[in-house]
Every structure is written in structure tokens, then in C-alpha cells.
Amino acid sequence: QVQLAQSGGGSVQAGGSLRLSCAASGPIFSSYCMAWFRQAPGKERETVVLVNRDGRGTYADSVKDRFTISRDNAKNILYLEMNSLKPEDTAMYYCAADPGVWCGTKWSYWGQGTQVTVSS
């Protein structure tokens, strides 16, 4: 079983920054698609960014130019750098992995989630 361990959440004022981490067991980054999701109370789950097997991210319009993904293959860690945070970014954030050949068909592995709270 692949395990994803998240860290880096917290509270920040609007305009601030946070970096989330997703540490994966096994050879994740060389073979799996990855993604960051978020879900706020009363709202549907939203795809924040899809991370393709080549390491490039496809971002939701709501976070483009503010959020950036990066990865450390040696440590098997995927990062989400969040800048210029807004109150509407407040949500529980999750990382996920898809082992299949068709990226995004099924997110089989999930991190435990980490809360991000942005105050005005």
C-alpha cells in the first residue's frame, strides 16, 4: 500500500503564504499521477492542481499564478506552495495519487488532509 503523509497546514492572514507537503512511500513520482484537492464546509471537493507524471501541474483557474507545485524525488515529497492567500482558500487540503495508466481515473491513495485557514 502506498501511504501519503501531509504536513504544513495552519492559519495565516490574507496575503500570506503557506507550503504544504505530501510525503509518499514507494516510487510515487516516477510512475503515479498526483493531485491536490480541497474542500470547504458546504462546498464540493475542488481540484486545486493535477500533477502529471512529467511533474508539470495543471492548475484551477482560482489558484493560477498564486499556487505552485514542486517535487523532491530524492525524498519522495510533493509540495504545494500557496502565495497571496485569500479567505476563500480556506479549506481542508488533500493530496492524492493515481497508479493507473489513465491519469485521474481513480484517486486510489489519499493523504490524511490538512486544514488551511485564511483570515481577513
**Tens digits of residue pLDDT in 13-46:** 999 999 999 998 876 656 788 999 999 999 999 9
Confidence of residue 104 (pLDDT cuts 50, 70, 90): confident
Q: What is the DSSP letter of 21?
A: E
Cβ-based neighbours of 120, under 8 Å, separated by 6 or more: 13, 14, 87
Spatial distance between the Cα atoms of 76 and 20, rounded to a whole number of angstroms: 14
Predicted confidence (pLDDT) per residue in 53-100, tens digit: 778 899 999 999 999 999 887 888 999 999 999 999 999 999 999 988
Query: Looking at the predicted structure, is the pLDDT value of residue 2 above 90?
Result: no
**Rounded Cα distance, 5 and 86, in Å:** 25
Return the pLDDT at 95. Answer: 97
Q: Can you give the pLDDT at residue 29?
A: 59
What distance in Å separates the CA atoms of residue 105 and residue 11, rounded to the nearest whole number? 32
The predicted pLDDT at position 21 comes to 97
pLDDT score of 28: 60
Q: 65 is written with which cell numbers? A: 499564478
